[in-house]
Amino acid sequence: MDCLFCKIVNNEVPAKIVYRDDLVLAFEDINPQAPHHILIIPQKHISTINELTSEDNELIGHMVQTAKLLAKELNVADEGYRLVMNCNASAGQTVFHVHIHLMGGRRFTWPPG
């Protein structure tokens, strides 16, 4: 498999890792869109949200809980932060491994691009 995020999980590609446990890995985005921009990924490969099953419910919940924890550590929880998941190319997904973008440290507008 030629998945960039799987290579990061397997330490084959360097990344600025900020969190790791048995289920997820979080690292700094290489093209940040905010002062704080972290990607939270499952350690198991799932290409898109469309491939999630009910067996992944706990995993996705854990990803969101990890985002909440990291937002507190980054001191953006109280002022606000954004979580984004894209599904497939037309929605902006460029790496086909499910991930959550955690962005904070600036004011966001709505609707996004």
User: What is the number of domains present in the chain?
Assistant: 1
| Domain-embedded: residue 110 | no
Q: How far is CA 111 from CA 79, 83, 106, 108, in A?
A: 19, 14, 15, 9
Task: Note whether residue 32 is domain-resident.
Answer: yes
Mean pLDDT of 75-99: 97
Is residue 43 assigned to a domain?
yes
Full residue range of the structural domain in which residue 10 is found: 4-104
Q: What is the mean pLDDT of the chain?
A: 96
Q: Is residue 109 part of a domain?
A: no
Strand 24-28 to 81-84 pairing: unpaired
Per-residue pLDDT at 95 exceeds 80? yes
Task: Give the pLDDT confidence score for residue 112 in this predicted structure.
Answer: 83
Q: Which amino acid is at 6?
A: C
pLDDT at residue 94 in the model: 96
Of 36, 97, 99, 101, catalytic: 99
Catalytic (active site) residue 36 = no
DSSP 8-state secondary structure symbol assigned to residue 75 = T
